[in-house]
Amino acid sequence: MKVLYINPNINHHKLPFYDALRNIYGQDNVIYATPLIHEENRIKMGFDSYQQENWLYHIQPSNFTEFSNLFYEADIVLCSIRDYYRLMEKRLQSGKLTFYFSERWFKEGIGKFRLLHPKILNLVYQFRKLSTYPNFFYLAQGEYAAYDFNYLGICKNRIFSFGYFTSINQTVRGNHLLPKEKINLLWCGRMLKLKRVDLLIKAFCDLQKKNNNIHLTLVGNGPASKCLIKYLHKHALPSNYTLYDFLPVAEVRYLMQQADIYVLPSNGHEGWGAVINEAMAESCAIVGSNKIGAVKSMLSHGINAMIFPSGNLQALKECISSLTGDPILLAKLKKESNALVNNLWSASTAAFRFSMVVDAILNKEDYNIYREGVMKLLKYDSNKII
């Protein structure tokens, strides 16, 4: 069986699922296709750094006819480039199994006002048309993505829970050490407004005044970094925080191994937040905003994470304090987060469950197989999952 897996880019967050698909369908039977992209800042962060790999199919104007044939001839297509709707429709007309996957279309900020844009309105029309074919399915990278498609009337009762699936077992060593005598908080990424690093810094600066046993490490930079670092310098003791520029993936994972708590305070513009998967794989307790796709899809407050309302500084402080002040709860959440990502949200689990759903669809059997985790069929009543 030939599988075509199409992404707008390639990075370390997407390869584990691809590798797991190859383990199931055969090393030579799964093609990873992506446009040829070179963006210096993305390469620095570990994105698009595999462009020269011989197993990677570069989609370019010069080979688009060949790519179109691959798209049509594959037994299974997983596509996350929505502009390829015409290619999808051609497959669907021939009864071929096709999956579209994406983060949410209507992220916080502009939200559903995007429907006023002619291009978005046309895409909605095209995808509603695609969803009339029974062999078209949606893999929602986050429950908010599923809400959007359900709201639009696309693929009702054919939406599966999906996400990002990062590497689980990494034996890495690095050069950067965290202070062993303190409870370590960690954040990594681009310092953008949507990431709400300002909220984390304000919370930390307040908390470290009363608790000198906590330490914050920030990894990355971005447009907001100058203001954020200035605030940190002004309001926190230098011994209580460490700042790094972007680091290689292995170095970041090594920091996660040492950290106790990973905080992701992003607003609703964060589609999934794959860094959470990585932190969970390294047994970090997670503190996350309720507007993040990964948090909404995978985590439950007090059971395997601490979740706070997006933008609520006081609630964030309380979540962090509950962990730094309770070693038993901290140890429990570290253990639970690791177990969850290994058992229900790993790349191997996702690929296996995907293959089981595919088999059920092709054999005209019930594909509502899983009751939790990845590839759970999401059914709605008044836009609420039932």
Largest CA distance in the chain: 66
Cα separation, 163 vs 172, in Å, equals 24
pLDDT at 110 over 90: no
Domains in the chain and their CATH numbers?
A: 3-165+346-385 (3.40.50), 183-343 (3.40.50.2000)
Cα separation, 351 vs 313, in Å, equals 38
Predicted local distance difference test score (pLDDT) of residue 321:
98
Residue type at position 131: S
262 HSE (CA, 13 A, CB side) = 32
pLDDT at 44 over 80: no
| pTM, two decimal places | 0.92
> CA gyration radius for the chain?
21
What DSSP assignment string belongs to 181-242? TSEEEEEES---GGGTHHHHHHHHHHHHHH-TTEEEEEE---TTHHHHHHHHHHHS-GGGEE
pLDDT tens digits, one per residue of 213-250:
999 999 999 999 999 999 999 999 999 999 999 999 88
Which DSSP category does 47 fall into?
A: B
* Burial (CB count within 10 angstroms: exposed 0-12, middle 13-18, buried 19+), residue 308: buried
Cα separation, 253 vs 262, in Å, equals 12
pLDDT tens digits, one per residue of 183-221:
999 999 999 988 999 999 999 999 999 999 999 999 999
Cα separation, 245 vs 219, in Å, equals 6
Comparison of pLDDT for 336 and 383, the residue scoring more: 336
